[in-house]
Structure 1
Protein backbone atom coordinates (compact mmCIF):
# COMPACT_ATOMS: atom_id res chain seq x y z
CA UNK A 1 0.00 0.00 0.00
CA UNK A 2 1.34 3.37 -0.88
CA UNK A 3 1.26 5.99 1.82
CA UNK A 4 0.00 8.45 -0.78
CA UNK A 5 -3.02 6.29 -1.55
CA UNK A 6 -3.97 6.10 2.12
CA UNK A 7 -3.25 9.78 2.76
CA UNK A 8 -5.36 10.68 -0.26
CA UNK A 9 -8.30 8.86 1.28
CA UNK A 10 -7.71 10.63 4.58
CA UNK A 11 -7.69 13.94 2.70
CA UNK A 12 -11.16 13.09 1.40
CA UNK A 13 -12.20 12.38 4.99
CA UNK A 14 -10.83 15.78 6.08
CA UNK A 15 -12.68 17.55 3.26
CA UNK A 16 -15.91 15.92 4.36
CA UNK A 17 -15.19 16.83 7.97
CA UNK A 18 -14.82 20.48 6.93
CA UNK A 19 -18.17 20.46 5.11
CA UNK A 20 -21.37 21.98 6.44
CA UNK A 21 -25.09 21.83 5.74
CA UNK A 22 -25.27 25.25 4.13
CA UNK A 23 -22.65 24.40 1.51
CA UNK A 24 -24.28 21.09 0.65
CA UNK A 25 -27.73 22.64 0.29
CA UNK A 26 -26.40 25.58 -1.73
CA UNK A 27 -24.20 23.66 -4.18
CA UNK A 28 -26.12 20.40 -4.60
CA UNK A 29 -29.73 21.37 -3.98
CA UNK A 30 -30.12 18.36 -1.68
CA UNK A 31 -32.31 19.11 1.31
CA UNK A 32 -30.97 18.64 4.83
CA UNK A 33 -33.69 16.06 5.59
CA UNK A 34 -32.45 13.79 2.81
CA UNK A 35 -28.84 14.12 3.95
CA UNK A 36 -29.88 13.37 7.53
CA UNK A 37 -31.60 10.17 6.37
CA UNK A 38 -28.41 9.16 4.55
CA UNK A 39 -26.47 9.87 7.76
CA UNK A 40 -28.13 6.91 9.49
CA UNK A 41 -26.83 4.55 6.83
CA UNK A 42 -23.31 5.97 6.96
CA UNK A 43 -23.16 5.72 10.75
CA UNK A 44 -24.63 2.19 10.74
CA UNK A 45 -22.36 0.84 8.01
CA UNK A 46 -19.35 3.14 8.51
CA UNK A 47 -16.72 0.45 9.14
CA UNK A 48 -17.93 -1.64 6.20
CA UNK A 49 -18.04 1.43 3.96
CA UNK A 50 -14.53 2.43 5.06
CA UNK A 51 -13.20 -1.00 4.04
CA UNK A 52 -14.48 -0.52 0.48
CA UNK A 53 -13.07 2.95 -0.14
CA UNK A 54 -10.59 1.38 -2.57
CA UNK A 55 -13.37 0.84 -5.12
CA UNK A 56 -13.05 3.07 -8.18
CA UNK A 57 -15.73 5.69 -8.60
CA UNK A 58 -17.34 5.35 -5.19
CA UNK A 59 -14.35 5.25 -2.84
CA UNK A 60 -13.75 8.99 -2.76
CA UNK A 61 -17.39 9.94 -2.11
CA UNK A 62 -17.47 7.34 0.67
CA UNK A 63 -14.44 8.89 2.40
CA UNK A 64 -15.98 12.36 2.13
CA UNK A 65 -19.26 11.06 3.62
CA UNK A 66 -17.41 9.35 6.47
CA UNK A 67 -15.72 12.63 7.31
CA UNK A 68 -18.86 14.71 6.91
CA UNK A 69 -20.78 12.52 9.33
CA UNK A 70 -17.88 12.52 11.79
CA UNK A 71 -17.17 8.80 12.05
CA UNK A 72 -14.31 8.05 14.44
CA UNK A 73 -11.09 9.18 12.78
CA UNK A 74 -8.67 6.48 13.94
CA UNK A 75 -11.03 3.55 13.47
CA UNK A 76 -11.99 4.85 10.03
CA UNK A 77 -8.35 5.45 9.06
CA UNK A 78 -7.30 1.95 10.13
CA UNK A 79 -10.19 0.26 8.32
CA UNK A 80 -9.45 2.27 5.16
CA UNK A 81 -5.84 1.10 5.40
CA UNK A 82 -6.91 -2.53 5.86
CA UNK A 83 -9.18 -2.30 2.81
CA UNK A 84 -6.40 -0.89 0.67
CA UNK A 85 -3.97 -3.58 1.87
CA UNK A 86 -6.56 -6.27 1.09
CA UNK A 87 -6.96 -4.87 -2.42
CA UNK A 88 -3.24 -5.17 -3.13
CA UNK A 89 -3.09 -8.69 -1.69
CA UNK A 90 -6.03 -9.86 -3.82
CA UNK A 91 -4.68 -8.24 -6.99
CA UNK A 92 -1.23 -9.69 -6.30
CA UNK A 93 -2.65 -13.18 -5.84
CA UNK A 94 -4.67 -12.82 -9.04
CA UNK A 95 -1.58 -11.82 -11.02
CA UNK A 96 0.44 -14.62 -9.44
CA UNK A 97 -2.30 -17.12 -10.32
CA UNK A 98 -2.44 -15.87 -13.90
CA UNK A 99 1.33 -16.17 -14.25
CA UNK A 100 1.46 -19.64 -12.67
CA UNK A 101 -1.34 -20.92 -14.92
CA UNK A 102 0.57 -19.81 -18.02
CA UNK A 103 -2.23 -17.41 -18.83
CA UNK A 104 0.40 -15.09 -20.20
CA UNK A 105 2.19 -16.82 -23.05
CA UNK A 106 5.40 -15.11 -24.07
Structure 2
Protein backbone atom coordinates (compact mmCIF):
# COMPACT_ATOMS: atom_id res chain seq x y z
CA UNK A 1 0.00 0.00 0.00
CA UNK A 2 2.82 2.40 0.88
CA UNK A 3 4.48 1.70 -2.47
CA UNK A 4 1.18 2.44 -4.25
CA UNK A 5 0.80 5.79 -2.42
CA UNK A 6 4.36 6.82 -3.21
CA UNK A 7 3.86 5.90 -6.85
CA UNK A 8 0.54 7.77 -7.02
CA UNK A 9 1.99 10.90 -5.41
CA UNK A 10 5.03 10.79 -7.70
CA UNK A 11 2.76 10.41 -10.74
CA UNK A 12 0.55 13.29 -9.61
CA UNK A 13 3.54 15.58 -9.07
CA UNK A 14 5.02 14.59 -12.44
CA UNK A 15 1.70 15.35 -14.15
CA UNK A 16 1.36 18.70 -12.37
CA UNK A 17 4.84 19.68 -13.56
CA UNK A 18 3.78 19.44 -17.22
CA UNK A 19 3.29 22.95 -18.65
CA UNK A 20 -0.19 22.23 -20.04
CA UNK A 21 -1.38 20.78 -16.72
CA UNK A 22 0.72 23.16 -14.64
CA UNK A 23 -0.97 26.20 -16.15
CA UNK A 24 -4.40 24.78 -15.34
CA UNK A 25 -3.27 24.08 -11.78
CA UNK A 26 -1.87 27.61 -11.45
CA UNK A 27 -5.17 29.03 -12.74
CA UNK A 28 -7.25 27.04 -10.25
CA UNK A 29 -4.97 27.78 -7.30
CA UNK A 30 -4.86 31.49 -8.22
CA UNK A 31 -8.66 31.65 -8.60
CA UNK A 32 -9.34 29.91 -5.29
CA UNK A 33 -6.70 31.92 -3.43
CA UNK A 34 -8.36 35.20 -4.48
CA UNK A 35 -11.59 34.26 -2.76
CA UNK A 36 -11.89 34.45 0.99
CA UNK A 37 -10.29 31.00 1.35
CA UNK A 38 -6.80 31.11 2.87
CA UNK A 39 -4.52 29.88 0.11
CA UNK A 40 -1.46 31.36 -1.58
CA UNK A 41 -0.89 31.03 -5.30
CA UNK A 42 2.68 32.29 -5.48
CA UNK A 43 4.26 28.90 -4.67
CA UNK A 44 2.38 27.27 -7.58
CA UNK A 45 3.53 29.98 -9.99
CA UNK A 46 7.10 29.84 -8.73
CA UNK A 47 7.34 26.05 -8.89
CA UNK A 48 6.06 25.96 -12.47
CA UNK A 49 8.48 28.68 -13.55
CA UNK A 50 11.30 27.03 -11.62
CA UNK A 51 10.62 23.75 -13.46
CA UNK A 52 10.47 25.51 -16.84
CA UNK A 53 11.77 29.12 -16.95
CA UNK A 54 10.24 29.62 -20.41
CA UNK A 55 6.84 29.46 -18.65
CA UNK A 56 7.47 32.76 -16.79
CA UNK A 57 5.05 34.94 -18.78
CA UNK A 58 2.41 32.26 -19.42
CA UNK A 59 2.38 31.38 -15.71
CA UNK A 60 2.25 35.01 -14.60
CA UNK A 61 -0.54 35.85 -17.05
CA UNK A 62 -2.60 32.74 -16.22
CA UNK A 63 -2.19 33.41 -12.49
CA UNK A 64 -3.21 37.05 -13.02
CA UNK A 65 -6.35 36.04 -14.93
CA UNK A 66 -7.27 33.38 -12.35
CA UNK A 67 -6.61 35.68 -9.41
CA UNK A 68 -8.53 38.56 -11.01
CA UNK A 69 -11.47 36.26 -11.72
CA UNK A 70 -11.35 35.14 -8.08
CA UNK A 71 -11.39 38.82 -7.05
CA UNK A 72 -14.40 39.36 -9.29
CA UNK A 73 -16.14 36.43 -7.58
CA UNK A 74 -15.38 38.04 -4.22
CA UNK A 75 -16.85 41.33 -5.53
CA UNK A 76 -20.06 39.50 -6.47
CA UNK A 77 -20.13 37.74 -3.11
CA UNK A 78 -19.94 41.13 -1.39
CA UNK A 79 -22.64 42.52 -3.67
CA UNK A 80 -24.92 39.55 -2.96
CA UNK A 81 -24.25 39.81 0.76
CA UNK A 82 -25.27 43.46 0.71
CA UNK A 83 -28.43 42.62 -1.26
CA UNK A 84 -29.36 39.93 1.26
CA UNK A 85 -28.63 42.34 4.08
CA UNK A 86 -30.90 44.98 2.57
CA UNK A 87 -33.68 42.44 2.05
CA UNK A 88 -33.53 41.57 5.71
CA UNK A 89 -34.36 45.28 6.34
CA UNK A 90 -31.84 45.71 9.07
CA UNK A 91 -30.16 48.98 9.72
CA UNK A 92 -26.87 49.42 7.96
CA UNK A 93 -23.95 49.19 10.38
CA UNK A 94 -22.04 52.34 11.17
CA UNK A 95 -19.64 53.31 8.43
CA UNK A 96 -16.22 52.69 9.94
CA UNK A 97 -13.13 54.55 8.85
CA UNK A 98 -11.98 51.79 6.47
CA UNK A 99 -15.30 51.82 4.62
CA UNK A 100 -15.17 55.62 4.29
CA UNK A 101 -11.63 55.32 2.92
CA UNK A 102 -12.76 52.72 0.39
CA UNK A 103 -15.74 54.82 -0.66
CA UNK A 104 -13.43 57.84 -1.07
CA UNK A 105 -10.99 56.05 -3.39
CA UNK A 106 -13.63 53.99 -5.15
CA UNK A 107 -12.57 51.35 -7.67
CA UNK A 108 -8.93 52.53 -7.50
CA UNK A 109 -8.71 50.99 -4.02
CA UNK A 110 -8.95 47.56 -5.70
CA UNK A 111 -5.39 48.13 -6.92
CA UNK A 112 -4.48 47.01 -3.37
CA UNK A 113 -6.27 43.68 -3.79
CA UNK A 114 -2.86 41.99 -4.07
CA UNK A 115 -2.07 42.67 -0.41
CA UNK A 116 -2.01 39.65 1.91
CA UNK A 117 -4.81 39.36 4.50
CA UNK A 118 -6.74 42.49 3.45
CA UNK A 119 -6.71 42.16 -0.35
CA UNK A 120 -9.35 39.48 -0.77
CA UNK A 121 -11.85 40.98 1.69
CA UNK A 122 -11.24 44.34 -0.02
CA UNK A 123 -12.77 42.89 -3.22
CA UNK A 124 -15.83 41.68 -1.30
CA UNK A 125 -16.28 45.05 0.41
CA UNK A 126 -16.03 46.76 -2.99
CA UNK A 127 -18.98 44.64 -4.09
CA UNK A 128 -20.84 45.40 -0.86
CA UNK A 129 -20.39 49.12 -1.53
CA UNK A 130 -21.53 48.58 -5.15
CA UNK A 131 -18.37 50.12 -6.56
CA UNK A 132 -18.36 49.81 -10.38
CA UNK A 133 -17.63 46.18 -11.29
CA UNK A 134 -15.44 46.48 -14.41
CA UNK A 135 -13.20 49.29 -13.10
CA UNK A 136 -12.74 47.24 -9.90
CA UNK A 137 -11.77 44.16 -11.91
CA UNK A 138 -9.36 46.22 -14.04
CA UNK A 139 -7.62 47.64 -10.96
CA UNK A 140 -7.52 44.17 -9.37
CA UNK A 141 -5.87 42.76 -12.51
CA UNK A 142 -3.20 45.49 -12.61
CA UNK A 143 -2.33 45.03 -8.93
CA UNK A 144 -2.25 41.24 -9.19
CA UNK A 145 -0.14 41.31 -12.39
CA UNK A 146 2.43 43.54 -10.69
CA UNK A 147 2.49 41.19 -7.69
CA UNK A 148 3.06 38.06 -9.77
CA UNK A 149 5.75 39.67 -11.93
CA UNK A 150 7.64 41.05 -8.92
CA UNK A 151 7.25 37.97 -6.71
CA UNK A 152 8.15 35.42 -9.38
CA UNK A 153 11.05 37.46 -10.77
CA UNK A 154 12.39 38.05 -7.24
CA UNK A 155 12.18 34.36 -6.37
CA UNK A 156 13.90 33.43 -9.62
CA UNK A 157 16.64 35.91 -8.85
CA UNK A 158 17.09 34.44 -5.35
CA UNK A 159 16.73 30.82 -6.55
CA UNK A 160 18.03 30.81 -10.14
CA UNK A 161 17.05 27.85 -12.35
Could you list the runs of 5+ residues in structure 1 that have no partner in the other structure?
A: none
Match of 2:92 in 1: 32
Cα distance in structure 2, aligned partners of 1:14 and 1:61: 12
Q: Which residue of structure 2 aligns with residue 11 of structure 1?
A: 73
Shift in Å, 1:98? 1.8
Q: Which residue of 1 aligns with 2:147?
A: 87
Mapped partners of 1:40, 1:22: distance in 2: 21
Normalised by the length of structure 2, the TM-score is 0.50
* Count of aligned positions: 96
Q: Which of 82, 88, 92 is matched with 1:20 structurally?
A: 82
Q: Which segments of 5 or more consecutive residues in structure 2 lack a partner in the other structure?
A: 1-60
> What is the Cα deviation at residue 94 of structure 1?
0.9
* TM-score (norm: length of structure 1): 0.72
1:22 Cα deviation after fit: 6.8
Residue 25 of structure 2 corresponds to none
Does residue 74 of structure 2 align to residue 74 of structure 1?
no
Taking CA–CA contacts closer than 8 Å with sequence separation of 6 or more, which of the two structures ends up with the larger relative contact order? 1
Larger radius of gyration: 2
Summarize deviations over 1:30-74 as a string: whole Å, max 9, x none.
x73523765432121234420111222211210010001011111
The answer as to whether partners of 2:107 and 2:132 remain within 8 angstroms in 1 is no
